[in-house]
Amino acid sequence: MSKKRKPIPVFKSEAEERTFWESRDSTDYVDWSEAKRVRFPNLKPSTKAISLRLPVDLLERIKIAANKRDVPYQSLIKVWLAEKIDAD
């Protein structure tokens, strides 16, 4: 016997929807056993260009570290920043 699901309300904004789901169990509203895996192959994460002034010596050391790993230095900086933020 399947569980009776609650109807999902219509939201006025993304913020209202976010608040709703933060305080509720989605299994009361969605039968996840019926879910299908989907892929969005052309979906690109949004990025924003910034300007960051670094001491020349620090930038050179970053480039050397990136070269040792065979990755672009900008990518290495992003990885390091993400790791630091996730560690906190």
* pLDDT for the residue 12: 95
pLDDT confidence of residue 45: 80
Which amino acid makes up residue 13?
Answer: S
Cα-Cα-Cα-Cα dihedral sign, residues 75, 42, 27, 19:
positive
**How many CB atoms within 10 Å of residue 11?**
13
One pLDDT digit (tens) per residue for the chain, 88 residues: 567 899 999 999 999 999 999 999 999 999 999 899 998 888 888 888 999 999 999 999 999 999 999 999 999 999 999 999 999 7
